[in-house]
Amino acid sequence: MNSFAEFLAMGGYGFYVWMSYGISTVVLLLNVVIPIIQKKQFLRELALKQKRAK
Amino acid sequence: MSLMSAFFAVIRRDLILAFRRRAEIANPLFFFVLVVSLFPLGVGANPKLLQIMAPGVIWVSALLAVMLSLDSLFRSDFDDGSLEQLLLSPHPLTILVMAKIIAHWLVTGVPLLVVAPLLAIFLGLPEQALGTLFLTLVLATPVLSLIGSIGVSLTVGLRRGGMIISLLVLPLYVPVLIFASNAVEMAGNGLSVDPQINILIAIFFMSAVLAPLPAAAALKMSVN
Amino acid sequence: MSIVPEFIVRFYHKTASPPYFYSLSNKLLPWLTAIFLILLGYGLYGGLYLAPTDYQQGDSYRIIYVHVPAAWMSLFIYVVMAIAGGISLIWRMKIADVVLISSAPIGASFTFIALVTGSLWGKPMWGTWWVWDARLTSELILLFLYLGVISLYGAIEDKRTASKAVAILALVGVVNIPIIHYSVQWWNTLHQGPTVTKMDKPSIHLDMLIPLLVMATAFKLYYAIAMLQVAKVEILMREQNTQWVKKLLEDK
């Protein structure tokens, strides 16, 4: 493959190839990002609960 | 009380209770008939099409009817506390669960067996396939009760376990559905059904031996 | 005298403790992430750029570099869940419960990716988004199995009971995987199914194979990373009333 445009086009199958990689990336990112956010949120709420309990 | 007499006592009790509540027997049956009847209305009355679809339609409808009836396997016992009594008995729970499954099949599976050939004729299933249809139902409806008992016992503690039972149990039903409906279709075409029947027999024995174990384990865990 | 070396037994017992597992995860994650990114970079570079264009399928075959590893992971993770379920039921190990339920959404995601990328590969290649052949149908049912585990766990309020329930479900379900695949294959050959998947080519060009294996390894590392992230949250939720969690909060 020679140019970046050719790389994107993927021999005419660009839509299918990049959709596949795109969807995979999004799904796999979410699986890591969501738990990280959940953890921060949980610890924040837990800290609040503990402060109230004191 | 010996294990044998306990076993039959459980079956007898469930049968008596079922006969007192006729709806338990009637509802799955009516559902079965209704669903099968819906298909010609839904896809059009083209007899050739119905004939091709007949094995699948009957089998899917039977499967759905059994799935609907599964909740009754443990529900009333759970509600009135007799399930706990069953768990407390000195006899192995696996055997008693087997007894309940047998009773369940007698109450739900057998009526389907009786009605299915009639429905098959309505859908134009070739007569040479009727015997195979009956055979697959005899072999596979107990399997549906057996595998279904696993799903029900996992969810018996839940207040509204209905939909989730279907989700749990359907993937496990798929092989049975595939082989049973395929056998009936082959029979309709005049081909041999020995391989499918043999596999259904194997599935029957496998589930008869294996299914009550996780069902009993799940019951113990659900009721606590 | 046990055949298992002393230090492995000690390690096994240590990881069974939630606080140790939690801190161990934190220590491992940076390393796992680094190796994962390196492998991912190399795999993608090799698959999307270096590997030659297929003479039959053109460049669309490159979907293979996410599709196949995802499918492999979907099966692998379910087996891991079943093993974790067995360990949980036999040895009542809390961490096994955590590993099981943490793996479920990741396994479901990989199954989803396998199905979607498969469709995206199939549409231009074989003209259809879907076909009811052995592999696709089995993979779809695998997705239902994963969703069943997730739903069941969510539906039962007491999480200890829920853990036991999904352990049983995972074990029962794993028996089903070969059964379903075999039965659908039978069904398919009886109906004279349409295609044999392209992967069954006897020899695959080494330049195409290596990125595939690299991606597969990368995905395994990803699984560890994602699973540990979910596991950390799960452990914190289960252990929120313990001393070590309270201390963790204070240290922040």
Query: At C54, phi and psi to the nearest 5?
Result: -70, 135
For residue C2, what pLDDT is reported? 65
Contact list, B157 vs chain C (CB under 8 Å): 156, 161
Is C183 within 8 Å of B168 when comparing Cβ atoms? no
The rounded distance, in Å, linking the Cα atoms of C174 and C179 is 9
Indicate whether C43 belongs to any domain: yes
DSSP secondary structure code for residue C127 in this structure: S
Distances (CA, A) of B111 to B76, B104, B173: 21, 11, 20
Q: Are C181 and B174 in contact (CB under 8 A)?
A: no
Closest CA to C208 of C96, C91, C83, C47: C47
For residue C192, what pLDDT is reported? 43
Summarize the confidence of residues B200-210 as an average pLDDT: 95
Answer yes or no: is pLDDT of C123 > 80: yes
On the 0-12 / 13-18 / 19+ scale of CB atoms within 10 A, C1 is exposed
- For residue B145, what are the contacts with CB-CB under 8 A and spacing of at least 6? B66, B70, B73, B101, B104, B105, B108, B109
Residue C189 — pLDDT band, cuts 50, 70, 90? low
**Does C197 lie at the interface with B, CB-CB under 8 angstroms?**
no
Domain that holds residue C143: 36-51+59-235
The rounded distance, in Å, linking the Cα atoms of B43 and B146 is 32
- Quote the mean pLDDT of chain C: 88
For residue B159, what pLDDT is reported? 77
**Degrees, nearest 5: CA angle C84-B212-C162:** 40
Is B218 within 8 Å of C155 when comparing Cβ atoms? no
Indicate whether C162 belongs to any domain: yes
Answer yes or no: is pLDDT of C74 > 90: yes
* pLDDT 10s digits, C137-153: 889 999 999 999 999 99
What is the ipTM for the molecules in this complex? 0.90
Total number of domains constituting chain C: 1
Indicate whether C217 belongs to any domain: yes
Query: At B206, phi and psi to the nearest 5?
Result: -60, -45
C6 token code pair: 């002393």
Contact list, A52 vs chain C (CB under 8 Å): none
Is C168 within 8 Å of B217 when comparing Cβ atoms? yes
Chains touching chain A at 3 or more Cβ pairs under 8 angstroms?
Answer: C
* pLDDT 10s digits, B134-172: 999 999 999 999 999 999 999 988 877 678 898 899 999
Answer yes or no: is pLDDT of C205 > 90: no
Indicate whether C122 belongs to any domain: yes
The rounded distance, in Å, linking the Cα atoms of C139 and C77 is 13
Among the partner-chain residues C60, C245, C246, the one whose CB lies closest to the CB of A10 is C60
Domain that holds residue A25: 4-53
Is C172 within 8 Å of B224 when comparing Cβ atoms? no
On the 0-12 / 13-18 / 19+ scale of CB atoms within 10 A, B168 is buried
The residue with tokens 């909740």 is: B71
Indicate whether C88 belongs to any domain: yes
Total number of domains constituting chain A: 1
Task: Find, in chain C, the residue whose alpha carbon is nearest to that of B200.
Answer: C183
Q: What's the gap between Cα C81 and its chain centre? A: 9
Q: What's the gap between Cα B106 and its chain centre? A: 10
Helical residues (DSSP H) of chain C, grouped into ranges: 6-15, 18-45, 64-91, 94-126, 134-155, 159-190, 206-238, 243-251
* pLDDT 10s digits, C21-71: 999 999 999 999 999 999 999 999 988 888 888 878 888 889 999 999 999
Mutant choice from C89, C190, C191, C192 vs B, greatest count of B C-beta within 10 A: C190
Distances (CA, A) of B96 to B10, B92, B140, B156, B220: 7, 7, 21, 16, 13
Indicate whether C1 belongs to any domain: no
* pLDDT 10s digits, B27-64: 889 999 999 999 998 988 888 999 999 999 999 999 99
- For residue A17, what are the contacts with CB-CB under 8 A and spacing of at least 6? A10, C59, C60, C62, C63, C120
Is A43 within 8 Å of C249 when comparing Cβ atoms? yes
Chains touching chain B at 3 or more Cβ pairs under 8 angstroms?
Answer: C
C149 token code pair: 């585990």
